[in-house]
Amino acid sequence: LFAGPCDFVLGAARLEQLPAMDRPEIALAGRSNVGKSSFVNALTGRKTLAKTSNTPGRTQQLNYFDLGGKAYVVDMPGYGYAQAPVEQVRAWTGLVKTYLRGRRSLARVFLLIDGRHGLKTVDGDVMDLLDAAASSYQVVLTKMDQVPKGERDARVADTLAALARRPAAYPELLATSSRDGDGVVEARAVMARLIDE
Ligand code: GDP
């Protein structure tokens, strides 16, 4: 699954551009700069994956990557950077809301959260959306190498406590560092399981 390249397949700005629902999809969401590209690169062992989320024209697209011919990784638009959170989420929801509601092949959304900062208001807004769409989502804490060792367990516990109040949230999270490679094996295992189901 992770042996080959994770090639860019297409970017969809409109729903009719989405590929056929013939294989499972794992979508990645998170605030701009959360470490989404680095996470995908760490998962796939790549160093050169296009920074699609920051490529002009691709920012508001759903960007599809091929995972071993068996699944898609879908890079969702980053949110919550520069603009007022409320407007960002509104712009984000236009394309994404319908996708989340109607995409039967969507196995799970990985919601990336910067481990240094924890959940922000805008992440809560996005979780509201995911809950409303009944999309199963799982939090991936990123940049955990930047969190002092003695604080990591508390960061994980606090995040899980917040998620426990949410109907669609998966009750486990992944604590990762793309820099150190922590949590990458675990993330791959979760993806492999989702794809086999
Ligand atoms: P994206 O905008 O969500 O795709 O984020 P990027 O993957 O481009 O990462 C944003 C910034 O965070 C870059 O400067 C990365 O080098 C840094 N970064 C990403 N992942 C990690 C990590 O695990 N640890 C550390 N220390 N920095 C990271």
DSSP the chain: --SS---EEEEESSGGGSPPS-S-EEEEEEBTTSSHHHHHHHHHT-S----GGGSTTTTTSEEEEEETTTEEEEEPPPBSSSS-HHHHHHHHHHHHHHHHHH-TTEEEEEEEEETTT---HHHHHHHHHHHHHT--EEEEEE-GGGS-HHHHHHHHHHHHHHHTT-SSB-S--EE-BTTTTBTHHHHHHHHHHHHH-
Instruction: Read off the pLDDT of residues 42-72 as tens digits, 9 standing for 90 and up.
Output: 988 776 555 544 555 556 789 999 999 999 9
Give the Å distance between the CA of 145 and the centre of ligand 1: 11
Distance from C-alpha of 118 to C-alpha of 105, rounded to nearest angstrom: 29
d(CA 1, CA 12): 23
Q: Is the CB of 179 under 6 A from ligand 1?
A: yes
Q: What homologous superfamily is domain 8-196 in, according to CATH?
A: P-loop containing nucleotide triphosphate hydrolases (3.40.50.300)
- pLDDT at 103 (0 to 100): 95
If you measure from the C-alpha of residue 19 to the centroid of ligand 1, how many angstroms do you get, rounded to a whole number?
Answer: 29
Residue with the smallest CA separation from ligand 1 atom 20 is: 35
What is the model's pLDDT at position 77? 85
pLDDT of residue 83: 55
pLDDT of residue 107: 97
pLDDT in the model for residue 139: 98
Q: Which pLDDT does position 60 carry in this prediction? A: 74
What pLDDT is recorded for position 28? 95
Return the pLDDT at 175. Answer: 98
pLDDT at 48 (0 to 100) = 57
The CA distance from 183 to 188, in Å, is: 9
Give the pLDDT confidence score for residue 81 in this predicted structure: 64
Predicted pLDDT of residue 131:
95
- In angstroms, the CA 109 to CA 66 distance is 16
Residues of the chain with pLDDT under 70: 47-59, 81-92
**Does residue 44 line the site of ligand 1, with CB under 6 A?**
no
ipTM comes to: 0.99
All structural domains of the chain with their residue ranges: 8-196
- Ligand 1, atom nearest to 41 Cα: 7
Give the burial string for 162-173 (b: 16+ CB within 10 Å, else e).
bbeebebbbeeb
